[in-house]
Structure formats: C-alpha cells, structure tokens
Structure 1
Amino acid sequence: MNREQLSKYKKNKRDIENLDGIIAKLQERLDAVPVVSGKVTKSSDDFPYIEEHVQVRVEEPKAATALKMRICEKEKRKDQLIRENEEVEKYIAAMPDGTAKDIFEMVFLDGMTQKGVGESVGYTQSMVSKVIKDILKHS
C-alpha cells in the first residue's frame, strides 16, 4: 500500500457517487428510447420447419446500443473504484489497534487534516506525518 492509493480513497468515493448519478441519468435516457417495429425470421414451431416472418417491437437499436455501452463503461469504472477503496479499507482494518490505526482511519477514510487528527490524538501535525510515513515505509 502506498500514500497515493490511500490518498485516492476520498476522491474515489466522490467519483463513485457521481458515477451513480450518471448511470441513473443514462438509464432514464435508455428507458426513453423510442420503440420501433421490426421483422425477424424464425422457424415455425411444428415440423416441417418453415421459415416465418414475425413482427417484433424493440428499442431503436443504434440509440439503445450506444447508451448501453456507456452504462457498461461507467459501471466498469465504478467497480474499479470500489475495488480500490476496498483495498484501502482492508489495509487499514488489518492494522493492529492503536493510535496509528486511528490516525490512518481519520486521515485517509474520514478525510481529516493531519493537524485535526493531531489535535484529536494529542500529537502535533509533524508527529502524525511521521507516523504515517513510518508505517508506509515498513509496509
């Protein structure tokens, strides 16, 4: 685990929320895609199997496909961000209980400043920075 991965946690959370909104809007647009009539060819249900033409109603193919592809891309990105955040959470959860774990939770998961964390645990900002640096150097 490195500082960059830990620091991305808060941004990833915001991005996940934004992606949820984007996916919802794309889904609304997909639901609003007009339905068109079309014909397909199928075999009859009984022997001898004769080719039949059946009329069907489907979403306008080009618009629906484009929207579905964008939704899929956004969902993949969201899944990637979720996995990254889960790694950070597992890393911090696996740390032994104590001040260092509390510092990591407050700085990286809760988004507090090092100065604010220092005030909470009775350290200076530089001591909080040193704890983080030492743990990351040894992991």
Structure 2
Amino acid sequence: MDKKTLKQYRALLKEQKLNDKAIDKLYDRASQVPTVLGKVVGSSSDFPYTEVRTTVQMDEPKEADEISRRLRIRKERHEQIRAAVMEIEEYIAEISDSVDRQIFELTFLEGKTQQEVGEIVGLERSSISKRIEGQLSHNSQK
C-alpha cells in the first residue's frame, strides 16, 4: 500500500455516492422508456406448423439497450470502487500498533491534518509524519 492509494479513500467515497446517484437516475430513465409494438414470428403449436406472426409490446430497443449498457458500466465501476475502499480499510485494520492505526484512520479515512491528528493522539506533527512513513516502508518490505 502506498500513500497515494490511501489518499484516494475519501475521493472514492465521494465517487461512490455520485455513481450510486447515476445508477438511480438510469433506473428511473429505464422505467420511463416508451413501449412500442413489435412483430415476432413463430410457428403454430399444432401440425402442420405454419408460420404465425404475433404483435408484442416491448421497450423501445435502442434506448433500452443504451440504458442497459450504461447501467452495466456503472455497476462495474461500483464494484471497483467498493473493492478499492475495502482494500484500504483492511490495510489500516491490519496495522498492529494501535497508535499507528489511529493515525492512519484519522489521516486517511477522516481526512484530518497531521497537526489535528497529533493533538488527538498526543504526538508532535513531525512524529505523525515519521510514523506514517515508517509504517508504509515497514509494510512495503513484507
């Protein structure tokens, strides 16, 4: 895990909210797709199986297909965001030192400055920076 990935946490949460809103809008749009009549060809159920044309109601194919593709893209992105958020949260949860774990949670999950984190955990700002760097370099050596 690196600092750049950890700093993405809050942006990922915001993106997830935006993505969820977009998914909701697409579902709303899907419910508004006009219904059109179409013809399908089949065969009768009895011998001599003659061709039968039937009129059916269906969603307007072009618009319904576009909405379906956009929903698939948004749902895939939703899963990617969820996985990235989980990876960051799991990384922080696995930090064995309680103070370091608090520092990472306050800094990367809650977005507090190193000065604010130092006041909360009772350390100097420079110590916060050193502990973050130390934890990152320690875990990258594993």
Q: Same fold (TM over 0.5)?
A: yes
The number of residues matched between the two structures is 139
Q: Which residue in 1 is equivalent to 2:26?
A: 26
User: 1:97–1:51: structure 2 CA closer, same or farther, 3 Å change rule?
Assistant: farther
Identity fraction in percent:
39
Q: Which residue in 2 is equivalent to 1:43?
A: 43
Deviating beyond 4 angstroms after TM superposition, the runs of 4 or more aligned structure 1 residues are none
Q: Which residue in 2 is equivalent to 1:75?
A: 75
- Residues in 2 aligned to 1:48 and 1:5: alpha-carbon distance in whole angstroms: 67
Q: Which residue in 1 is equivalent to 2:65?
A: 65
Q: Deviations over 1:76-126 (max 9, x none)?
A: 111101100100111111111410011111111122111111110011221
- Residues in 2 aligned to 1:49 and 1:115: alpha-carbon distance in whole angstroms: 82
Q: Which residue in 1 is equivalent to 2:116?
A: 116
Shift of 1:26: 1.4
- Structure 2 unmatched ranges of 5 or more: none
Q: Quick one: which amino acid aligns to residue 17 of structure 2?
A: E
Q: Deviations over 1:23-66 (max 9, x none)?
A: 11111111111000001122333444433222111110001111
Stretch moving more, 50-59 or 127-136? 50-59
Could you state the TM-score of these two structures normalised by the residue count of structure 1?
Answer: 0.93
- Structure 1 unmatched ranges of 5 or more: none
Could you state the TM-score of these two structures normalised by the residue count of structure 2?
Answer: 0.91
Q: Quick one: which amino acid aligns to residue 133 of structure 1?
A: E
